[in-house]
């Protein structure tokens, strides 16, 4: 179940949930990038990260400190989201929406300050984001699938003939968490070294 082939087959089964993850994340980005009424909410989400960033910048070994913080922060949240479908899949969906809003808001603020957005994306997002963002989208898809299976179980709806059982999906989610964590581990290494160096 931990093999790459098994995981790939699971991702193919998740294709509609992955599409939903992309749509929700994109909707969050559009909201954050265009609707000024959300600024206060997004700023509240960023306050804790800004304080942590200032502390990490004062560390003797910035790369290691950033790596540990980024990896644990992302990995813990991603794994929790994968199993958070217990709330009908709303928590994973909300997580994706907020993350999209934060990115959209930050890019809008940077652009208003005259920052070259294309350069910012290439140097500050793409190196690690090419792995981190898909990992987050996958985690959200797992969580929403979990929520759908719980809905069917709790409300007595018969499972579709080919639909996986809740117990089986829990096992698959555990295996998927290993792969998602591996992606986030690599992304954290890149973000704490390559991205940090490029943004300096």
Lowest mean pLDDT among 12-21, 40-49, 155-164: 155-164
What rounded mean pLDDT belongs to the chain?
A: 84
The reported pTM is 0.86
Under 8 Å between Cβ of 38 and 103:
no
pLDDT digits (tens, 9 = 90+) for 114-148: 888 888 888 888 999 999 999 999 999 999 999 88
Whole-number Cα distances in Å, 163 to 139, 147, 168: 19, 14, 10
pLDDT at 48: 64
The Cα 199–Cα 120 span in angstroms is 8
pLDDT digits (tens, 9 = 90+) for 67-76: 777 888 889 9
Task: Please state the rounded mean pLDDT for residues 11-19.
Answer: 94
Nearest to 180 by CA among 100, 88, 74: 74
């Amino acid at each position: 179940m931990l093999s790459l082939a098994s995981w790939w087959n699971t991702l193919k089964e998740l294709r509609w949930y992955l599409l939903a993850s992309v749509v929700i994340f994109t909707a969050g980005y559009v909201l954050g990038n265009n609707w000024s009424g959300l600024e206060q909410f997004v700023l509240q989400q960023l306050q804790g990260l800004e304080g942590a960033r200032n502390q990490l910048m004062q560390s003797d070994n910035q790369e290691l400190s950033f790596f540990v913080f980024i990896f644990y922060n992302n990995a813990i949240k991603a794994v929790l989201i994968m199993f958070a479908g217990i709330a009908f899949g709303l928590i994973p969906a909300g997580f994706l929406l907020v993350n999209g809003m934060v990115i959209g808001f930050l890019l809008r603020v940077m652009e208003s300050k005259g920052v070259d957005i294309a350069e910012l994306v290439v140097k500050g997002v793409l190196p690690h984001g090419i792995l981190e963002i898909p990992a987050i989208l996958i985690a959200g898809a797992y969580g929403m699938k979990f929520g759908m299976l719980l809905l069917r179980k709790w409300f007595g709806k018969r499972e579709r003939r080919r639909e996986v059982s809740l117990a089986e999906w829990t096992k698959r989610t555990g295996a998927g968490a290993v792969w998602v964590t591996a992606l986030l581990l690599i992304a954290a290494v890149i973000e704490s070294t390559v991205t940090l160096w490029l943004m300096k």
